[in-house]
Structure 1
Amino acid sequence: MDWDKLRIFHAVADAGSLTHAGETLHLSQSAVSRQIRALEESLNTTLFHRHARGLILTEQGELLFDATSAMRRRVDAAAARIRDSEEEVFGELRVTTTTGFGSLWLAPRLPALYEKYPDLKIDLMLEERVLDLPMREADVAIRMKEPSQADLIRRRLMTVRMRLYASPEYLAQNGTPERLEDMNRHRLICQNTSSAQVSAGARMVQELLTYDIPSMLTVNNYFGALQAVIAGLGVGVLPDYVIEDFPSIVRVLPDYESGEVPVFLAYPEELRQSKRIAAFRDFVTEEIIAHRKRLKDEHAVA
């Protein structure tokens, strides 16, 4: 089917007049009329009822107009994405990451991103399941391991370590562990070792369980584990990035921690030129640089 004829048909149906459609398309009325007749002949049907007040779509014309309207919407959406990739930062950006990182690190920092790009529409998808970026289940991902999917651009952002933390109130009431063996007198708050989580965290919990932990609370994400620690329920296994925003939490057994957990940002190759992706990537990178600087300054003061 001739796309140009469909474009002219849509303009005529929208305007209800050959003359008005011709003005919009910068074509003569006779040229528009010829294209409509040719389209009707190719479809072997009548698309318009013609009368003194203008043109009215036939039943077949209504069907075709619904189709061309849908096509127009898709083309407009594609044009918006092209403009986004070439000019401005706006539109929807679907970001996926873990519940803990998304709720404890990323979400509190998003106001700065919205202040810079107020027309962004971020859909933040927090779940442990790894979404399929090449299949466009999300636009960009932040994950605690290097993505294995093909056709992805990936950048290592930082490293995280799992450590032990407790509230001052809990430690005042129950004492502070001085060595790992002392954990057999404390409740452990952690993710269940069988749940989806970073392997370094699971190994750390498995090691702690060898010390005859008397009581436990397991939560399926670090946000819930942090809330339990803040509430004074016990000693929690938490990622080190939470402490910057919760300075009252006390690190327990400061010489004990997990191995490094790499944090990666990834997005599909086809979005390489997207201004939205670039804006988000640069924002996260800048926040991490600022985070490192604050930690360095704190260590220098200490």
Structure 2
Amino acid sequence: MSIDWDRLRIFHVVAEAGSFTHAGERLGMSQSAVSRQVSSLEEGLGLKLFIRHARGLVMTEVGEQLFKTAHRMAWELQSVEAQMSETRDQPTGPLLVTTTVGFGSTWLTSRIDEFLERYPTIQLEIKLNDSELDLAMREADVAIRLHRPNQSELIQRKLFTVHFHFYASSAYLEQHGIPKSVDDIDNHKIITFGNPSPAYLGDVNYLETIGRPENNPRIPALRVNAIYGMMQACREGIGIAMLPDYITEDESSLVRILDTVEMPEFETYFVYPPALKNSKRVGVFRDFLVSKARGWEF
């Protein structure tokens, strides 16, 4: 059994696109030509790679295994091409960055325009996902993680410590008053993270338990399974929320309360695989993040 590498490339695009039509648009080929190439690959392997139905394509188990291999190969080839381009002084090529939805849609995207202006030949893509993408499997090039990485082989650089604080809107405090102590929280509405909460956010639902008996937590007025959604609800005056600094730095409508209470915190890291240790794209992006992180904590 042998694999035609050009057909494997076409299969990889089809698997990503989810249909022969969309894959054909990306490849500059007709839908029928793409379908024939995949069918020829299946015949050569003696295996079905897709289940075909009216609404699109679903990979078989064998197809999924082959896709993972083809995806790694495509990433490696893209990486080699980029490194060859980077023999010049200017960092060049694609850079896929992953981080959480809350952090990426606030702290990161509010600063990224400067990086894009400084390095116009880097094709930056930011993939926001609260589930961690696997760098070893080439699901992304680099990551900003809101905890110390578990994989010891990854290169890591601490960026800063994220602190939590209690917040409420001015309108809410005008109507319900300002809590003066932890015990006063019992008389207020609270907003917390929906269950299960991400491990990287630590004790994100501290408002439910602080100052309460172990088996008698506060019942929130609202649970939201996204930090950004919690902030929006807090802004609208629904109640008090515990929010990380990176999502509130530009929120003038929110008032920080109970400042003397000791709060949870967590560290944030920039991580990437050893294979990209000498990549100029990764190096300049790392240095950019470090420069923006320096002195940011508050």
Q: Structure 1: which 5+ residue stretches go unaligned?
A: 1-70, 296-302
Match of 2:58 in 1: none
Q: Tell me the alpha carbon deviations over residues 221-270 of structure 1, each in whole angstroms, 9 at most, x when there is no partner.
A: 21111111111111111002233222332111111243330111100001
The yes-or-no answer on 1:147 pairing with 2:149 is yes
The yes-or-no answer on 1:231 pairing with 2:236 is yes
CA–CA separation in structure 2 for the residues paired with 1:172 and 1:102: 32
Contact map agreement 1:193 1:206 (CA 8 A) in 2: no
Match of 2:168 in 1: 166
Match of 1:103 in 2: 105
Measure how far apart 1:125 and its partner are: 1.4
SS of the aligned residue for 1:189 comes to: strand
Distance 1:249 1:94, change over 3 A: same
Q: Tell me the alpha carbon deviations over residues 23-69 of structure 1, each in whole angstroms, 9 at most, x when there is no partner.
A: xxxxxxxxxxxxxxxxxxxxxxxxxxxxxxxxxxxxxxxxxxxxxxx
Distance 1:76 1:94, change over 3 A: closer
Q: Tell me the alpha carbon deviations over residues 110-165 of structure 1, each in whole angstroms, 9 at most, x when there is no partner.
A: 11111111232222111221111111111111111111114211011111122211
1:188 maps to amino acid: I
2:112 maps to amino acid: L
Instruction: Please identify the structure whose Cα radius of gyration is greater.
Output: 1
2:113 maps to amino acid: P
Measure how far apart 1:87 and its partner are: 3.1
Measure how far apart 1:92 and its partner are: 1.6
Map 1:32-43 to 2 at 5 A.
Answer: none
Match of 1:175 in 2: 177
Measure how far apart 1:75 and its partner are: 6.7
Distance 1:231 1:75, change over 3 A: closer
Contact map agreement 1:100 1:221 (CA 8 A) in 2: yes
Contact map agreement 1:159 1:260 (CA 8 A) in 2: yes
Percent identity, aligned pairs only, is 37
Contact map agreement 2:193 2:205 (CA 8 A) in 1: no
The yes-or-no answer on 1:282 pairing with 2:287 is yes
Match of 1:115 in 2: 117
Measure how far apart 1:76 and its partner are: 8.2
Q: Tell me the alpha carbon deviations over residues 152-198 of structure 1, each in whole angstroms, 9 at most, x when there is no partner.
A: 11011111122211111111111111111111222211212522243
The yes-or-no answer on 1:264 pairing with 2:266 is no
CA–CA separation in structure 2 for the residues paired with 1:80 and 1:175: 58
Measure how far apart 1:203 and its partner are: 5.8
Contact map agreement 2:107 2:247 (CA 8 A) in 1: yes
1:103 maps to amino acid: S
1:95 maps to amino acid: V
Measure how far apart 1:215 and its partner are: 4.1
Measure how far apart 1:83 and its partner are: 2.0
Distance 1:280 1:117, change over 3 A: same
2:273 maps to amino acid: P
Distance 1:179 1:162, change over 3 A: same
CA–CA separation in structure 2 for the residues paired with 1:181 and 1:128: 33
Contact map agreement 2:192 2:204 (CA 8 A) in 1: no
Match of 1:88 in 2: 90
Match of 1:245 in 2: 250
SS of the aligned residue for 1:108 comes to: coil
CA RMSD of aligned residues (A): 2.5
Contact map agreement 1:163 1:237 (CA 8 A) in 2: yes
Distance 1:189 1:84, change over 3 A: farther
Match of 2:32 in 1: none
Distance 1:260 1:280, change over 3 A: same
Measure how far apart 1:200 and its partner are: 3.0
Map 1:58-73 to 2 at 5 A.
Answer: none
CA–CA separation in structure 1 for the residues paired with 2:278 and 2:182: 50
CA–CA separation in structure 2 for the residues paired with 1:87 and 1:179: 57
CA–CA separation in structure 1 for the residues paired with 2:104 and 2:234: 18
